[in-house]
Structure 1
Amino acid sequence: MGVRTEYRQPVIQPSYADRLVAPLPSFRDVMRLMWTGGFRGRVEDADRIPVLRCGLPAVTAQDTALTWVGHATYVVRTGGATVLTDPVWSARIPGVPRRLTPPGVAFSELPPIDAVLITHNHYDHLDAPTVQRLPRSTPVLVPAGLGRWFRRRGFTEVFELDWWDSVEVAGLVFDFAPAQHWSRRGPRDTCRSLWGSWVISGPEHRLYHAGDTGYGPHFAEIGRRYPGIDVAMVPIGAYDPRWFMKPVHMNPEEAVQAVADLGARAAATMHWGTFVLTREPVTEPLTRVRKAWRESGRDPRDLWDLAVGESRALRS
């Protein structure tokens, strides 16, 4: 791990629809969903979402620490560098109710950021107000086709990657890997940029951030290409109704299987308890992932079912 790789700008395609593994929902599918209740989630137990905002613990350059800010946002500190994944600090994002839980770390408490990773352009993963708070010299690593969005906002170090591309930033090697999802921010840009997941390889540890994804064979392929993943950050929420969400969002049981396919030592949960995106009760993902992990026979200490704001560290 940590071998230097040369970055090359990928050829940007006019559309990445050929990467879809299933057709996007039809008008009939959307109407069926609306007639049967839409995406209204049950929030009556929102006060049971665990929150533990105690700041960022001190780490050395040899340590790796993950802090869950909420949704798909993690503060990752490894190899002496600080990385943000899909940063969202806004209280609201378009189209969904107000945030259920506060960000686990105040934006003002962040150390200097060495790299920002974006998995795709949906509003709950690419939040313009948060991005605007970053210094324009911050290196941002984005899927192919999304670089222009950042350059137009003044960012000077923008790295666009296609699947299986690599780049080294701040002493870490970042590999962009597949995900089973899609992209859109407006009515005319469906699948105009790519989507994916990230492998972060440092001198001591290797990490994986799944982004937003349905369950599929890409996990086993990623595990083969990048052996020795120490922690996989995997989504466990936004899965109901299953007939509509299955192609693009895993449920908790599939997330546990994905971790096994990856060959990861531990799993860190995400993509639940922050925004109400789908119908399942807001704390159900946590209950179900704990049950699935237990039934898989894995060590319960290797399930990092973090509270919002909680940190966990790997020691060398």
Structure 2
Amino acid sequence: MLVIILVLIGVLIVAYLLFVNYYPSFGGKISKEQQKEYAKSSNYRNGKFVNEKDVPKDLSFGETVNLAYKFFTTKVPNGSPQEDLKVEKLDSADVADFKNDTRLIWYGHSAFLVQIDNKNILIDPMFGNVAAPHPLLGGNRFNKQMPLNIEKLPNIDMVVISHDHYDHLDYESITKLKDKVDMFYTPLGVGVHLEEWGVEKQRIVELDWWQEINADGLLFACTPAQHFSGRKFGNEQSTLWSSWVIASEHDKLFFSGDSGYGSHFKAIGEKYGPFDFAMMECGQYNAMWPDIHMFPEETAQAGLDVQAKTVMPIHWGGFKLALHSWTDPIERVVKKGAELQISIATPRIGEVIRPKDSLQGYNAWWK
């Protein structure tokens, strides 16, 4: 019996090693040469990227198992919608020919199509069905349909990625998109995954926090966030995470990426604000991980900190990745926004968002 148990354990270990080393969705691996280059960053210490604060806490194996057990066994009332979320569909010709004032289209969770200054930009284009390395390892997204499928999207001038977690960087989405994208902008290290998936190095620009690049009249600034990274055990914090500023001559947009609440929001607002529109993380929070995701009340405050004229809560309405109800984020942030007297945008997935249209209204579609 002991021999049989040991053989089974050995088989499981070999199967795991084969899976993580050869299944393509895990992405690439940072080389020693890259590690030496990243060591020049003030955000890189002892072989890993770090936050300004000493978070998140490194969990022991027992703590990790306990956290996973609570996540997978806790029953969450209204944790997911009772039916597939309705999506506003886009016309492919309208998207391809669009030449007017800046507009955004939310794809659910944290994915956006941004059309600004006659450029098409995708932010964290996770269009896959499951936020996990394999379809059997995660729950389905809340919307089966997309506003406009990848195949019908026009040429994409830029893709902006905030970090390498599965709900933001998706292997299948990138492989479908890569041949119609001109340039990819990522925080340090994230390009290694893109290269592994067939994106040429010359089409990838990696930036550290507070670094900027001007591209075709647009400013892209890689700004701080308080989070972490990693796509498998053993490569945690090997790549950087970030928020992003995207600015044209007439419009300023802010994308928070994933982040706990911190002083970096005020610093970003002081340097780049005020913003016409800020996409702020608001979902997948829990008291067990308070430093890496914001609670809705913190989202509203962070919107004030970055000096946003309008705040849109994101990182909700797509996947069940925490233990709150699926509507808890939007209900709480709308309430807090009213208290702080800030404008909260709550579009349906696929609904066109016009940042400078002060008369644009939204329905409480989640009710």
TM-score above 0.5, yes or no:
yes
Deviations 1:137-184 (A, max 9, x none): 530001101222222333231000000111122321100000000001
Larger radius of gyration: 2
Per the alignment, in what secondary structure is the counterpart of residue 185 of structure 2? strand
Match of 1:81 in 2: 119
Per the alignment, in what secondary structure is the counterpart of residue 138 of structure 2? coil
Q: Does structure 1 residue 52 correspond to structure 2 residue 95?
A: no
Contact 1:179–1:196 (Cα < 8 Å) also in 2:
yes
**Aligned-pair CA distance for 1:25:** 4.4
**Aligned mate of 2:320, from 273, 276, 282:** 276
Larger displacement relative to structure 2 (35-44 or 14-23): 35-44
Q: Percent identity?
A: 30
Partner AA of 2:313 in structure 1 = T
Match of 2:204 in 1: 158
Match of 1:171 in 2: 217
Per the alignment, in what secondary structure is the counterpart of residue 254 of structure 2? strand
**Aligned-pair CA distance for 1:60:** 5.3
**Aligned-pair CA distance for 1:307:** 1.2
**Aligned mate of 1:267, from 311, 321, 332:** 311
Which structure 1 residue ranges, 5 or more long, are not aligned?
A: 1-8
Q: 1:246 to 1:309 in 2, by over 3 A?
A: same
**Aligned-pair CA distance for 1:96:** 2.4
Larger displacement relative to structure 2 (48-57 or 227-236): 48-57
Question: What is the rounded CA distance, in whole Å, between the counterparts of 1:168 and 1:62 in structure 2?
Answer: 21
Larger displacement relative to structure 2 (69-78 or 13-22): 13-22
- Correspondence 1:69-218 to 2 at 5 A: 69-94=107-132, 95-102=137-144, 103-136=146-179, 138-156=182-200, 157-218=203-264
Q: Does structure 1 residue 26 correspond to structure 2 residue 63?
A: no
Per the alignment, in what secondary structure is the counterpart of residue 288 of structure 1? helix
Match of 1:64 in 2: 102
Q: 1:44 to 1:277 in 2, by over 3 A?
A: closer
Q: Does structure 1 residue 311 correspond to structure 2 residue 352?
A: yes
**Aligned-pair CA distance for 1:52:** 3.4
Contact 1:210–1:233 (Cα < 8 Å) also in 2:
yes
Question: What is the rounded CA distance, in whole Å, between the counterparts of 2:116 and 2:314 in structure 1?
Answer: 19
Number of residue pairs matched by the alignment: 303
Question: What is the rounded CA distance, in whole Å, between the counterparts of 2:239 and 2:71 in structure 1?
Answer: 30
Per the alignment, in what secondary structure is the counterpart of residue 314 of structure 1? coil
**Aligned-pair CA distance for 1:194:** 0.4
Contact 1:143–1:160 (Cα < 8 Å) also in 2:
yes
Which structure 2 residue ranges, 5 or more long, are not aligned?
A: 1-33, 40-46, 358-367
Contact 2:105–2:113 (Cα < 8 Å) also in 1:
yes
Which structure ranks higher in relative contact order (CA pairs < 8 Å, sequence separation ≥ 6)? 1
Q: 1:32 to 1:153 in 2, by over 3 A?
A: closer
Partner AA of 2:54 in structure 1 = V
Question: What is the rounded CA distance, in whole Å, between the counterparts of 2:37 and 2:300 in structure 1?
Answer: 35
Partner AA of 1:171 in structure 2 = G
**Aligned-pair CA distance for 1:35:** 5.2
Deviations 1:93-122 (A, max 9, x none): 324211122333322332211100110000
Partner AA of 1:263 in structure 2 = Q
Question: What is the rounded CA distance, in whole Å, between the counterparts of 1:167 and 1:211 in structure 2?
Answer: 18
TM-score by length of 1: 0.88
**Aligned-pair CA distance for 1:189:** 0.9
More helix by share: 2
Question: What is the rounded CA distance, in whole Å, between the counterparts of 2:192 and 2:52 in structure 1?
Answer: 20
Larger displacement relative to structure 2 (302-311 or 174-183): 302-311
Question: What is the rounded CA distance, in whole Å, between the counterparts of 2:232 and 2:81 in structure 1?
Answer: 30
Per the alignment, in what secondary structure is the counterpart of residue 63 of structure 2? helix
